[in-house]
Amino acid sequence: MFAPTTYRSRRRTLVAQERPESGLVLLLGNQHTPRNYVDNPYPFQQDGTFLYYFGLDRPNLYGLIDLDMGTSTLYGEEATLDDVVWAGEPPALQEEAAAVGVDTVNPPPTLGSRLTQARQQDRTVHILPPYRDEHRLRLGELLNVPHAQLDDAVSEPLIQAVVQQRSVKSSEEVAEIETALERTAQVHACAQAHAVPGASEQEIVGAMTGRLTAEGSAFSFTPTCSVRGEVLHNHSYPNTLTEGDLLLVDAGAVSPRHYAGDVTRVTPVAGTFASRQEAIYRAVLSAQAAAIEALAPDVPFVEIHKHAARTLTEHLIDLGLMQGPAEEAVAAGAHALFFPHGLGHMMGLDVHDMESLGEEFVGYTNDQTRPEQFGLHALRLGRPLHPGFVVTVEPGCYFIPPLIKHWRAEQRHEQFINYERVEDFLGFGGIRIEDDFLVTADGARALGADIPKAPEKVAARAGSSPLS
C-alpha cells in the first residue's frame, strides 16, 4: 500500500467534492470466490475502488465514509484462531487500518445498525453498482432493498465523483503503472524468445506465468497468446506454432500495489514476416503512430479512434483490400470489417479502469452519445482526454472468417470493400499493437520500458531462447 496520507487525502477529496454532497458512502471490499467449494478459492482480487480509498488487500472488509462528518470507518474482523491455524497469521486489522489512515475498525455486524440508523435519519447511503452476486445480496440486506430494485439504489453522484477522481493518476500511481509495465516487458520478451516452430501456445503461457509468479506478480487479465490472433480475446491455447504463423500476445502484469499493464505484440514465428504479413503489420503500426501523435488534452478519444481507422484504411486501400475515399469508408463504418474494436480504454487499478462503474460514465461525457455503428459501438473511451489520464492505444487489423462471410453475403459496404481480395487473406489471422500512455499537459508520454515493435526488431526477437 501507499503511505497513509495517500488514502486519507483521497477520501478527503471525495468528501470535499460537490457530488455526492452528503450522506454515507459504503464501499464493499471483495470476498474470496470459491472455485468449486468454499475452501478452494480463486486467487483473491480486491475491488479497485475499495483499494483506491482504503488500500487493504484482504477479503471481507467494508469501508464507510461519512460525507458530513468527514470520518472513515473500516468494518472487518480480526483473524480467528481457526483462521490462523489454517491460513497463518495475517497482520492485525487494526494495524493495517492505521497504515491506510483509518482509526476506527468495527465488527461487520454493527454495520447494519449504523446504516439503519442513517436511513431513519433520512441520510442517503451511496453505493456503487455491484458486479458480484454476493455483493448484490449483501447490499440488499444492508439497505433493506428488494433484489430487483437494487440497481435503482445505485448512486450516480458517487459514480461520477469516483470516476472523476480515479481518472486522473497521481505521480505515485504512474510510477506503479511503470513498474507493472517493466514486468509486462519481461513477459513479452519471454513469449517472443520462445516463439519458434514446434512450441505450443500452452508452453509459452506457462513460461510467461512462471516468469510472473517468480517475481511475485500475476497477469492483470487472462492473456491472449495465439496464432489465431483474429479472435480478439482468445483465451484458449490449443495450437502448436508453425513456420509462417504470427503469434499475437496480449498480456499485462500487475504492480505490487495492483496497478495494471496491458501490451500487445505480434511476432512472426519464422523470424521473418512474409511480405503481406509485413504490409498489414506496418499498416497497424502506422495507425498506432497516427493515434499516438494525436493524443493530447481536450481531444476526444473518439476522434483519435477515427483518425487511426482512416490511417489503417488508407493502407488497406493501397493493398487493394478496400476502395476509398478513406474518409467516406470510415464514416460509413466499412473499415470495421478489419478493425471491429475500439482504439483503447482507461487503465489503472483495473486493466479496463473503473468499467464496473459503467462504461458510459468512464468513457463518455453527459453531452456525448455513445455511437451505435458496428465497430465504434465497441469503443469504451470516447470522451475528451485530460492530463493525468492513462490510456491504451491498440489498433488492430483482423481477417475474421465468419464476419467476412456474413458481410459478404449481405453485400455490406461493397463499394468500399474488395471482397475478392479479402477472401485471399482468409487464414491470415490478426494483428494488434498495443501500448499504454499518460496524457500530459501538452501531449502524451509512453509509459514503461520500450518493448520493441518495429517489424525488423520483433522479427529478430523471435525464438532467441526456445524452450527445450
Taking CB within 5 to 8 Å according to partner kind, which of ligand GLY, Mn ion, none is near residue 173?
Answer: none
Taking CB within 5 to 8 Å according to partner kind, which of ligand GLY, Mn ion, none is near residue 221?
Answer: ligand GLY
Grid coordinates representing 354 are 473503473
Q: Report the residue from 57, 250, 353, 359 that binds Mn ion according to the rule CB under 5 A.
A: 250
In 3D space, the residue among 440, 353, 386, 420 whose CA is nearest the CA of residue 166 turns out to be 353
Q: How far is the CB of 187 from Mn ion (least distance, A)?
A: 12
Query: x/- contact string, 418-457, with ligand GLY (CB under 6 A)?
Result: ----------------x-----------------------
DSSP β-ladder status, 104-106 and 125-126 = unpaired
Task: Give whichever of 126 and 453 is closer to ligand GLY, judged by the CB atom.
Answer: 453
Q: Report the residue from 47, 230, 245, 262 that binds ligand GLY according to the rule CB under 6 A.
A: 262
Taking CB within 5 to 8 Å according to partner kind, which of ligand GLY, Mn ion, none is near residue 350?
Answer: none
Return d(Cα 468, Cα 454) in angstroms, integer. Answer: 28
Q: How far is the CB of 360 from ligand GLY (least distance, A)?
A: 18
Sheet strands (E) in 8-159: 24-28, 62-66, 71-75, 104-106, 125-126
Is the peptide bond preceding residue 108 cis, with omega within 30 degrees of 0?
no
In 3D space, the residue among 310, 377, 391 whose CA is nearest the CA of residue 347 turns out to be 391
Task: Give whichever of 280 and 343 is closer to Mn ion, judged by the CB atom.
Answer: 343
Task: Give whichever of 173 and 314 is closer to Mn ion, judged by the CB atom.
Answer: 173
Angle between helices 275-294 and 301-318 (to 10 degrees): 150
Task: Give whichever of 230 and 394 is closer to ligand GLY, judged by the CB atom.
Answer: 394
359 binds ligand GLY (CB under 6 A): no
Grid coordinates representing 383 are 470522451
Task: Give whichever of 74 and 191 is closer to ligand GLY, judged by the CB atom.
Answer: 191
392 binds Mn ion (CB under 5 A): yes
Q: Report the residue from 2, 221, 237, 374 that binds ligand GLY according to the rule CB under 6 A.
A: 221
250 binds ligand GLY (CB under 6 A): yes
Q: How far is the CB of 295 from Mn ion (least distance, A)?
A: 15
DSSP β-ladder status, 444-446 and 435-439 = antiparallel
Sheet strands (E) in 34-135: 62-66, 71-75, 104-106, 125-126
Return d(Cα 241, Cα 243) in angstroms, integer. Answer: 7
Within residues 331-350, the interface with ligand GLY by CB under 6 A covers 345
96 binds Mn ion (CB under 5 A): no
Grid coordinates representing 421 are 481480395
Q: How far is the CB of 157 from ligand GLY (least distance, A)?
A: 28
Q: How many residues bind ligand GLY (CB under 6 A)?
A: 6
Return d(Cα 290, Cα 391) in angstroms, integer. Answer: 15
In 3D space, the residue among 401, 396, 359 whose CA is nearest the CA of residue 379 turns out to be 359
350 binds Mn ion (CB under 5 A): no
Taking CB within 5 to 8 Å according to partner kind, which of Mn ion, ligand GLY, none is near residue 314?
Answer: none
- Contact 281/398 with Cβ under 8 angstroms? no
Q: Report the residue from 262, 314, 350, 436 that binds Mn ion according to the rule CB under 5 A.
A: 262
Looking at residue 335, the DSSP 8-state letter turns out to be: G
Taking CB within 5 to 8 Å according to partner kind, which of ligand GLY, Mn ion, none is near residue 176?
Answer: none
Grid coordinates representing 168 are 486522473
Establish how many alpha carbons lie within 13 A of residue 360's alpha carbon, considering only the half-sphere containing its beta carbon: 9
List of residues contacting Mn ion (CB under 5 A): 250, 262, 392, 434
Query: Contact positions toward ligand GLY, by CB under 6 A?
Result: 221, 250, 262, 345, 394, 434
